[in-house]
Amino acid sequence: MLPAIVLITLALAPLGLLARTGPRPLVGWALALLPALSFALLLFQLPQVTGTTQIREVIPWVPTMGVELSFALDGLSLLFALVITGIGTLIIGYAGHYMHDDPGLGRFLLYLILFMGAMLGLVLAGNVLTMFIFWELTSVTSYLLIGYKHDYPGARRGALQSLVITAGGGLALLLGLLILGEGARHAGVAPNQIYNFDAIIAAGAEIKAGPFYTPALLLILVGAFTKSAQFPFHFWLPGAMQAPTPASAFLHSATMVKAGVYLLARLAPGLGDTPLWHAALVLVGGFTFAFGALVATRKDDIKALLAYTTLSMLGGLIMLIGLGGKYAAEAVAVNILAHALYKSALFMIAGIIDHEAGSRDLRHLGGLRRMMPATAFFIALALLSQMGIPIFFGFVGKELLIEAALESLLAAPWRYAALAAIVIAAVGYIIAAWRLFKHAFLGTSSPTLAQRHHVADPRGMLVSPAIPALLSILVPLALLPWASQLLAPAASVVYGKPISFDLALWHGFNTALMVSSGAILLGILLARFERPLAALPPHLPAWADGADLLDRLLAGVDRIGGLIMGTLQTGQLRRYMLYNTITLLLITGVPFVLYVLPGLSFITPDPQLRIYEAFAAALIPIAVVAAIRAESRLSAIISVGVVGAMVSLFFILFSAPDLALTQLLIEVLSTVFLLLVFSILPARFANLSSPATRMRDAILSGMVGLLVAGLVLATATTTIFEPLAPYYLENSLAKGKGQNVVNVILVDFRGFDTMGEVTVLLTALLGIYGLLRMRREKQ
Amino acid sequence: MILILAITIGCLFAGGFYLILRRSLVKLILGLILLSHGVNLLIFTMGDGVRRGAPPIVDKNGVAPINVADPVVQALILTAIVISFGLTAFILTLAYRANQVTGSDDLDSMQGEG
Amino acid sequence: MVNHLFLPLVVPLISAALSVMLGRWRLLTRTLTLGASLFNLGYSGWLLWLVSSAGRQVTQASAWAAPFGIALVADLLGAVMLFLAALLMFCTIIYSLLSMEPEYEQFFYYPLLLLLLLGVSGAFLTGDLFNLYVWFEVLLMSSFGLVTIGGSRAQLTGGLKYVALNLIGSTMFLIGSGLIYGLAGTLNMAHIGERLITQSEPGLTTVIATLFLFAFGSKAALAPLFFWLPESYHTPPPAVSAIFSALMTKVGVYALYRVFGTVLPGELVRLAPLILVLGGTTMVLGVFGALNQTEIRRVLSFTIISEIGFVAMGLGFASAAGLAAGLLFTAHMMIVKTALFFLAGAAEQVCGTGDMRRMGGLARREPALATLWFLAMIALAGIPPMSGFFGKLALLQAGVSQGHYLISGWAVLVSLFIFLAILKIWHEVFWKKPVEDLSQRPRLAPALLIPGALLVILSLVIGIGAGPVAELSTQAGTQILDLPGYIEATCGPAGCDAVTLRSH
């Protein structure tokens, strides 16, 4: 069933394109049936998923690489899968209304459903590599959704930044997971199990003791932190708000950004509880928690404000995972659900405001409560939950958060730091929520807003946010036992041992309640001064904006790369020849000097040496020097011709008559061609390079000459193996029916070479013909 | 003799590389020709010794002369000579055409644009 | 021993010769070309199946026993490359039929393509070092003809550098072969391997091996020998760029894998650190080049270089896993890069230019092209479930399991920037609003997308069916390093020296 849910969702994504035709909202709701069905199917599994027990289904995929379509359902994945399909249902229905006049709705829904399938795969995967595959797919679909309005440069930039950060993090994650697998292998896990979550977690203690733990964890953390928009990678999330609001509500608040949290929560029982784990998660998570909340209080764009509270809450969740312990596990589960409910409602309502009022800038809104009373009611519910006001779901989550910090087994400074982050975040949420509500819904309408007609509650569109908003109050009031049944197994997975708990609104007058009440009071107090507070320093200097920094970093890499390649790639052939020469001297020359030169014997006595042989040999260097020093073209060509003639002479002297003949013939032909072709050039060479360059080239080419000479000497004086030559001499007449052994070799023994050789000649002719004819045609 | 041949081959390579490092189109091609001579001689010395006056031609009974030269390298060189002739002819034509469009012997002026 | 391995060489050769002679009947030439490439495709598909089920296949040319004659040896590495070459050539011919200006046909465009196919097929099949040189020259010579076909200034000047630099590589190859004959007394690769594996100390063999590293590295476009590639690849018509990107550097890769993996495994171990350094440098220089280009096909050309660095890294791991991963990655990049060149050609046709600054708006105007490009792009970036992911994964797994963390991390970083370089094309050409008015431009013929679509689908199929594909590449990796098996297949169970002893 699990593979079916994931794969069918992915396979049916093209159905989204149906939304091109027909009544848009209706098609939207019809498509919403797809996730709704999955939601129902998953919900039925709830009774079987208790504690950390799993439903597991495996389809083999790439056994040699340890990749399999392995899906497992336990408490944590069920919680996430329900959030994905549940909110996915609402979002798709909502999108049909929200984008009813957008011709690209079909494409949008295609991406959205693809994303949903990928996200389901991510949370249901029982194998780290399978999870990674879906992880990457969510990055890509997110990119497409953010860049949906790609005519706008802002959308393209937001899409690119999100992709660079998440895909870059993804690559780190991949490396981390592979190293983790290596750690598991060394911890004695069976080779075909090293990428299984269960096996890794079971071998956690051994992995943590081994050398692979630290690099693997650091790389995995980069992956998780980038995906979940943790400081300093947070900036892509506000940039992702360029996506149409349904996508923001779904990907960038409720689901995809929680993938990092999900991964860490899942790995916590195996890899957690080490100093590195605590330090990294509590520091980064805690800082992002507080930082995001504070930045949110200063934002005027509703979606940006929500984006910062989102990344803040993700930080809170990561901090919780870092704190560890039973309460933290409970708090993670509760807050994932509570946040998904209120944040998706908030985003969808932000979309409604944008859609109806034509702006989502708090400075241009106001007085909406009279025009959109129902919207005001539902956003109020969601905001109250976010603020953590008692009897709302957010309150339950916050109580547990505080409890987790208080009860953590970490040293006191960590606990207090965590507590401080919680209080700062809680206060920030209250201020941000108040700002949002006050400037959008209270007061009087702005002049531009007043001129807009038909600003009213959009009934169809309001259905989707109304449900999670209502749940934010209904769950704590009426459904807590049911929610506990869902959340306890999830918490058990994070904790690593079965936990059973009954959530309650009222825990008595304890420290947590005091802290939480204090935060609420402080928040309400400060909320009155939200305007002066927003104007207070410190304002982040412009250069410290992460998005700009990333732009500059990428541009910097471009520039450095351009500089290097610009220096290397000059378009001048002699430069490239120079690289080739130096490379040859380095890769061949160095081993030659090291391994061959010491054993080289220069004495090769040859009693038969004739004086005319030496004379012929001496002519070659002389002709070469003449060719080099020649000032006129003609004398250079003649000198090269002399070299050719001397080579032929060598062939005659040393028993190669066929070679001599061919060489001479070719030499004559080549010289004629040379003279013909270069007749159009000036007769004398211009002096094109400086003396220093000539000296450098002379030294380098001299070294090449020495190298080759040395190689010839070394090889010719080394006889380890008997050459094949005797065979050909013996069999030439008998088997090859010829007395000239060279000819027999050419046409018979190695006839294949000759076939290739003739082909080369033929091909050269075709090429030459093309070169010459094409010009004539053009003229 | 090997030493002399080795030095000769070394000279051909040194001269060839020096010429291909020049800016002149003509010198580039002359350099390539020198290199091909160098290679042919190099292969020649790689045979089963360098022999005088004993070409690899067997008599009517299929018996090779004493101290005969290695026929394999000769076959290889024949192939190589022909191939390098084809290449030389092509690059000469190409040089001719390139020279026509750029109007210069200077390789540095042989850029795609301009 | 079988007697059919010469078929994929003879069929293109005869077809090319006939095409040259019958050049004036265009339809005939085209049919011949298509037919020959189809034959090679079918044959090599069958051969791949045969090799994967029955092991290496050997044909002794003219029935002269190896090591005296020239043996054609098809193992998995060769068969896979042969198949891919035939497939990509087939797609290129279809693409050419749809896009090439007819005037090129007078200049033997199709025969040159067939000769290129002949050259690469010969290189993938031969078991003889000098014969490998000959096939290299065949494919080089036909590529020279193709790169200059049309005779524009950029083609001539770029082509000159291409030819000159490649001749240096060939020269080194020839020197290496000569020295090998001088040292080992044989040219048969199995025989060379059998004899030189006894060299347990670094020495002359090592030095000669570096010559091969230079020669094949230069063909494969390893740093710092790759400069011929970005000077020339973007200048000819898109179909030629596509087939170049598919085959030219890959023959170099093949030769590196064959010579260092099979023939000189001892030297591979010795030179592995050097190969890793060269690979790492190639990766980063290639991507640096790609980030700074404004022409689509130049960006693509530079990413080829960068990816060659990855393939070299696979070789540098000096293990069956590394070679298997490198082969998988090579197969992936051949398919995907060719598809990208086809699609780039289509985009250029729509916009009338390949300069990204003047392009734009294709996502809305040509949604089918955009979809295909996007899929090919994420395949190149190694996003699952496209083929690139598994290539990258296999390489990283090999690296991590052998403790090569530094280069693996480096590769990961570089692959992010490769993605960025190609995303730039997506943003500029597809997502950006059109810069120039495209409404007057002719519509893109949907048929032109077919070859690219085929390859994109293939990439997806390789990704989804990665199980068997990875299995095959793992087998191939083991087989590349299996020198005794290679010797036995070529010369018989007693080895090549036994054959030479028997002959006396």
Residue A66 region by backbone torsions, left for phi larger than 0, else alpha for psi between -120 and 50, else beta: left
- Residues A440 and A463 placed together within one structural domain of the fold: yes
Query: Which of B46, B50, B74 is facing A658, going by the closest CB pair?
Result: B74
Residue A98 in any domain: the answer is no
Identify whether residues A434 and A300 lie together within a single domain.
yes
Query: Once rounded to an integer, what is the mean pLDDT over residues C61-72?
Result: 84
Q: How far apart are CA A419 and CA A412, in angstroms?
A: 10
Q: Which residue has the tokens 């990092």?
A: A260
All residues of chain B having their beta carbon less than 8 Å from the beta carbon of residue C174 are 39, 43, 80
Give the range with max mean pLDDT: A20-24, A278-282, A481-485, A727-731.
Answer: A278-282
**Minimal C-alpha gap between B102 and chain A (Å):** 12
**What local confidence, expressed as pLDDT, does residue A456 receive?**
78
Say how far apart CA A572 and CA A581 lie, in whole Å.
15
- Among B86, C307, B66, which residue's Cα sits nearest to residue A762? B86
In a 13 Å sphere around the CA of A334, the CA atoms on its Cβ side amount to: 34
Q: Which domain holds residue B72?
A: 2-56+68-108
Is the domain of A762 the same as that of A623? no
Q: What is the mean pLDDT of residues A235-259?
A: 91
CB contact under 8 A, B30 and A658: no
Which amino acid appears at position A747 of this protein?
V
- Give domain status of residue A700, yes or no: yes
The whole-number pLDDT of residue C182 equals 93
Decide if A649 touches B, using CB distance below 8 A.
Answer: no
**Model confidence over A736-758: pLDDT tens digits?**
888 899 999 998 899 899 999 99
Same domain as A478, residue A374: yes
Residue B19 lies in a domain: yes
CB-CB under 8 Å, A654 with B51? yes
SS3 state of residue A529? coil
Q: Does A21 touch chain B (CB under 8 A)?
A: no
- B61 in C contact zone (CB under 8 Å): no
CA separation for the pair A243, A256 (Å, rounded): 14
Q: How confident is the model at residue B112 (pLDDT cuts 50, 70, 90)?
A: low
**CA dihedral sign, ordered A303, A309, A315, A317:** negative
Subunits with 3+ C-beta pairs closer than 8 A to A: B, C
Residues A591 and A451 in one domain: no
Our CA-based measurement puts residue B43 at a distance from the nearest CA of chain C, in whole angstroms, of: 5
Contact between chains at B24 and A688 (C-beta distance less than 8 A): yes
Neighbouring chains of C at 3+ CB pairs within 8 Å?
A: A, B
* CA neighbor of B46 nearest in space, from A725, A712, A721, C203: A712
Residue type, C150: G
B-chain residue closest to C68, CA distance: B72
A728 CB contacts (<8 Å, ≥6 apart)? A736, A741, A744, A745, A749, B56, B71, B72, C68
d(CA C172, CA C211): 6
Q: Which two tokens stand for residue C487?
A: 């010797």
Mean pLDDT of chain C: 93
- Domain segments of chain C: what residues? 7-503
Query: Does residue A720 have a pLDDT over 50?
Result: yes
Q: Which residues of B touch A680 (CB under 8 A)?
A: 96, 99-100
Gap between the Cα atoms of C176 and C215, Å rounded: 9
Structural domains in chain A (count):
5
**pLDDT tens per residue across span C212-252:** 999 999 999 998 999 999 989 888 999 999 999 999 999 99
User: Could A657 and B53 be called an inter-chain contact, meaning their C-beta atoms sit closer than 8 Å?
Assistant: no
User: Is residue A385 in a domain?
Assistant: yes
Angstrom distance (rounded) from CA A585 to CA A699: 11
| Inter-chain contacts counted by CB atoms under 8 A, chains B and C | 89
pLDDT tens-digit readout, A460-490: 899 999 999 999 999 988 888 888 889 999 9
Phi/psi for C366 (5° steps) reads: -125, 75
- CB contact (8 A) between residue A715 and residue C68: no
Is residue C328 within 8 A of residue C470, CB to CB? The reply is: yes
pLDDT in tens, A555-588: 999 999 999 998 899 889 999 999 999 999 999 9
CATH code: domain of residue B91? 1.10.287
User: Tokens in use for A571?
Assistant: 């378009």
Q: Flag whether A71 is in a domain.
A: no
C426 interaction partners in chain A (CB closer than 8 Å): none
pLDDT at A16 over 90: no
List CB contacts (< 8 A) between B83 and chain C: 134, 137
Interface contact flag, B35 C160, Cβ < 8 Å: no
For B66, list phi and psi in degrees, rounded to 5.
-70, 145
Give the integer Cα–Cα distance in Å for A67 and C393.
10
Q: Which residues of B touch A649 (CB under 8 A)?
A: none
CA–CA separation, B12 and C215 (whole Å):
19
Distance from CA of C157 to the nearest CA of B (A): 5
Residues of C in contact with B72 (CB under 8 A): 181, 187
> What are the structure tokens assigned to C488, written together?
């036995």
Give the mean pLDDT of A395-407. 90
Write b or e for each residue in C386-420: b if 16 or more Cβ atoms lie within 10 A of its Cβ, otherwise e: bbbbbbbbbbbbbbbbeebeebbbbbbbbbbbbbb
Is A352 part of a structural domain of the chain? Answer: yes
CB proximity list for A253: less than 8 A, separation 6 or greater:
A306, A307, A310, A339, A340, A343, A344, A346, A347
Residue B114 in any domain: the answer is no
Do A532 and A676 fall within a single domain? Answer: no
Q: Which chain A residue is nearest to residue B91, measuring alpha carbons?
A: A768
Give the ranges where A45-127 is alpha helix by DSSP (H).
Answer: 75-98, 105-124
Please check whether residues A410 and A494 belong to one and the same domain: yes
The closest CB to that of B15, out of A603, A628, A669, belongs to A628
Amino acid at A232: P
Q: What is the pLDDT of residues A616-647, one digit of tens each?
A: 888 999 999 999 998 888 899 999 999 999 99
Q: Do B79 and C141 touch (CB under 8 A)?
A: no
Quick one: which of C81, C130, C92, C132 has its CA closest to C114?
Answer: C92
Q: A391-400, A505-514, C428-437, C441-450: which range is least confident on average?
A: A505-514
Q: Is the pLDDT of residue A318 over 90?
A: yes
Q: Do B85 and A669 touch (CB under 8 A)?
A: yes
Of B25, B28, B33, B87, which to mutate for an interface test with A (greatest number of A Cβ within 10 Å)?
A: B33
pLDDT in tens, C251-264: 999 999 999 999 99
Query: How confident is the model over A288-301, as pLDDT tens digits?
Result: 999 999 999 888 89
Nearest alpha carbon to residue A72 among A198, A201, A203, A204: A198
- C341-360 mean pLDDT: 92
Q: What's residue B110's pLDDT?
A: 77
Structural domain harbouring A482 = 273-536
Shared domain for A292 and A386, answered yes or no, is yes
Scan residues 400-459 of C and list those with Cβ closer than 8 Å to A: 400-401, 405, 408-409, 412-413, 415-417, 419-420, 423, 427, 431-433
Do C470 and A767 make contact, defined as CB atoms within 8 angstroms? Answer: no
Distance from CA of C280 to the nearest CA of B (A): 27
- Residue A604, helix vs strand vs coil: coil
pLDDT digits (tens, 9 = 90+) for A48-68: 887 666 788 899 999 889 899
And the tokens for A523?
């928040």
The predicted structure's pLDDT at residue A53: 64
Contact list, A672 vs chain B (CB under 8 Å): none
pLDDT value for A779: 43
- Helix %, strand %, coil % for chain C, to 5? 80, 5, 20
- The first and second tokens of residue C245, run together, are 């990107």
Is C157:B112 a contact under the CB 8 Å cutoff?
yes
Closest chain C C-alpha to A733 CA, distance in angstroms: 14
CB C422 within 8 A of CB C381: yes
CA B55 to chain CA mean position, Å: 21
Annotate C184-232 with DSSP letters as a single string: HS--BHHHHHHHHTT--SSSHHHHHHHHHHHHHHHHHT-TTS-THHHHH
Assess contact for A733 and B58: CB atoms under 8 A: yes
Residue type, A134: F
Whether B33 sits inside 8 A of A644 (CB atoms) is yes
C70 touches A: beta carbon within 8 Å? yes
Residue B51 lies in a domain: yes
Q: Does B109 reach chain A within 8 Å, measured CB to CB?
A: no
pLDDT confidence of residue B114:
38
Contacts of A704 in chain B (CB under 8 A): 13-14, 17
What does the pLDDT average to over A689-713?
94
Same-domain check for residues A500 and A414: yes
* In-domain check, residue B32: yes
Query: If you count DSSP H runs as helices and E runs as strands, how many of each does chain C have, helices first?
Result: 21, 2
Q: Quick one: closest CA in C to B105, which residue?
A: C157
Interface membership of B39 toward A (CB under 8 Å): no
DSSP β-bridge partners for residue A70: A58
Residue B43 to residue C151, Cβ atoms within 8 A: no
**B66 touching A (Cβ < 8 Å):** no
Q: How many structural domains compose chain B?
A: 1
CA distances from C139 to A52, A508, A650, C213 (A): 62, 84, 31, 19
**Residue C224, pLDDT score:** 92
Closest chain B residue to A600, measured at CA: B3
Neighbours of chain B (3+ CB pairs under 8 A): A, C
Mutation site, C7, C400, C402, C435, interface A, largest A CB count within 10 A: C400
Give C-chain residues touching B93 at CB under 8 angstroms.
none
Omega of the bond prior to A598 within 30 degrees of 0, cis? no
Nearest one of A99, A100, A48, A101 to A73, comparing CA atoms: A48
**pLDDT, tens digit, for every residue of A150-179?**
999 999 999 999 999 999 999 999 999 999
Angle, CA of A600, A606 and A609, to the nearest 5°: 130
Same domain, A558 and A438: no
pLDDT at A543 over 70: no
- The candidate with the shortest Cα–Cα distance to A6, out of A41, A53, A43, is A41
C157, C167, C181: residue with CB nearest B98 = C157
How high is the pLDDT of residue A684? 77
Helix A691-716 vs helix A573-584: crossing angle, to nearest 10 = 40
Would you say residue B105 has pLDDT above 70?
yes
Report the C-alpha gap between C160 and C152 in whole angstroms.
12
Chain A: closest CA distance from residue C229 (Å): 11
Bigger pLDDT: A581 vs A548:
A581
Query: Would you say A580 and C168 are in contact if contact means Cβ atoms under 8 Å apart?
Result: yes
Tokens at C165, concatenated: 């630099």
Distances (CA, A) of C131 to A21, B16, B80, C135, C499: 63, 25, 11, 6, 20
Residue B62 included in any domain: no
Q: What is the rounded distance in angstroms from the CA atom of residue A262 to the CA atom of residue A228?
A: 9
Q: Is C18 left (phi over 0), alpha (psi -120 to 50) or beta?
A: alpha
CA C218 to chain centroid, in Å, comes to: 13
C204 touches chain A (CB under 8 A): yes
- What global pTM score does this model have? 0.95
Distance CA C338, CA C456 (A): 10
- Option in A644, A707, A768 nearest B37 (CB): A644
Distance CA A360, CA A303 (A): 7
SS3 per-residue string spanning C368-395: HHHHHHHHHHHHHHCCCCCHHHHHHHHH
Which of C167, C211, C233, C293 to mutate to test binding with chain B, by most B CBs within 10 Å of its CB?
C167
The shortest C-alpha distance from B11 to chain C (Å) reads 15
Subunit contact C210:A751, Cβ cutoff 8 A:
no
Contact state of A579 with C227 under an 8 Å Cβ cutoff: yes
Q: Is the pLDDT of residue A373 over 70?
A: yes
Residue of C nearest to A107 (CA): C367
Task: Give DSSP secondary structure letters for A555-592.
Answer: HHHHHHHHHHHHHH--S-HHHHHHHHHHHHIIIIIHHI
The Cα-based distances of C462 to C84, C250, C375, C378 in angstroms read 13, 19, 13, 14
**Residue C115 tokens, joined:** 């000769």
- Give the CA dihedral A557, A563, A565, A570, nearest 10 degrees: 160
